[in-house]
Amino acid sequence: MKLTDESSEKTATMKFRKYDANVMGLCLTLRVNLQLSLRKTSQALEELYGFRVSHQQIANYCRLAAICVKPFVDTYDYNPGDVFVADETYIRIHGIKSYIWFIMDSVSRSIIGYRVSENRSVGPCILAMRMAFRHIGNKLPEGFRFIADGYSAYPLAAQQFFYKFGEQMRFDITQIFGLTNDDAVTTEFRPYKQLIERLNRTYKKSYRKTNGFHNIDGANYDLALWVAYYNFLRPHSRRDGKVLNPVPEIQNAGVMPGQWQIMIYLGQQVILQEQRQRRAAACS
């Protein structure tokens, strides 16, 4: 089966020459779940299981897995509530300061919007928000709030949504300024801001093992896998050690390498469905 990554217009194949999908699942478990570097993952596979897999092959597995699981993660019905929380944090790509944007649903704690960008402009902010709003059909629920820090990109992005969609997408940004609660708004909504700041710290803990990325594609693949892990595979203490979004097919797979394989399979089904829909639209 061939899969197309629309962001880079590259094609990937699921044919294995030497190893199988189970080894790929082991690679993802060590690399993403246990936060090992590519070289440490290669070392662990050889010393624990006797598989000699190069760090470059592990990188290829991660890239392929990211292409597969991203459609499933992005189209999953998170059933979000009426409060979204956003923040951006910096990373390094080829030694240059870059950014990751996160948007979280405050009820489910799921990541419903994310984006890697080489700058902190309003453009990537809009793209991350567009991903999040797709889960509510571009129609805001009653009493909707969007909470962010004091950065100017968020109000500008909100204006663009109103300009394109009209009154059904009119909303203000509740901005939390500073580190102290100096007004009633900051006092009321700072706990929401702390949610997204904890998310940033959790991501940065895994990011530090990479010592930065060589290019933006590598950052995108790594982020897609991490969001998939965070939303569907990672146990959360605030959920009594359960995952945020339990999917029976994934949970029934048992051990973690099997769960990664099932998520890849589910992502493939989404890709196939989208391909069938495009062919049907082209023929109509």
Q: Do 90 and 174 sit in the same domain of this protein?
A: yes
For residue 261, being part of any structural domain is answered with yes
* Backbone torsion region of residue 148, taken as left when φ is above 0, otherwise alpha when ψ lies between -120 and 50, otherwise beta: beta
Q: What is the pTM of this model?
A: 0.90
The pLDDT of residue 1 is 47
pLDDT of amino acid 18: 67
Listed in sequence order, the residues at least 6 apart from 227 whose beta carbon sits closer than 8 Å to its beta carbon are 73, 111, 114
* 235 within domain boundaries: no
Report the pLDDT value the prediction gives residue 210, as an integer from 0 to 100.
65
Position 266 in a domain: yes
pLDDT of res. 283: 83
Tell me, yes or no, whether 87 and 71 share the same domain.
Answer: no
Instruction: Please tell me whether residues 170 and 88 are part of one structural domain.
Output: yes
Tokens of 29: 């478990």
Q: Could you tell me the residue range of the domain that residue 8 belongs to? A: 2-75+242-283
The predicted structure's pLDDT at residue 120: 93
**The pair of three-digit structure tokens given for residue 226, joined into one six-digit string:** 């991490």
Token pair in block for residue 145? 């709030």
Count how many domains the chain has: 2
Q: Which of 240, 258, 260, 233 is nearest to 111 (CA)?
A: 233
pLDDT single digits (tens) 155-169? 999 999 999 988 989
Q: Are 250 and 190 members of one domain?
A: no
Residue 147 is predicted with a pLDDT of 96
**What is the spatial distance between Cα 103 and Cα 200, in angstroms, rounded to a whole number?**
11
Question: Is residue 175 assigned to a domain?
Answer: yes
Q: How far apart are CA 203 and CA 195, in angstroms?
A: 13
Residues of the chain short of pLDDT 50, as ranges, are: 1-11
Q: How far is CA 121 from the centre of its chain?
A: 20
- Both 64 and 131 in one domain: the answer is no
Domain contains 98: yes
In sequence order, the β-bridge partners of residue 148 are 175
* CATH number of residue 101's parent domain: 3.30.420
Judgement on whether residues 112 and 209 belong to the same structural domain of the protein: yes
The answer to whether the beta carbons of residues 116 and 102 sit under 8 Å apart is no
- Note whether 101 and 126 are same-domain residues: yes
Confidence (pLDDT) at 158: 95
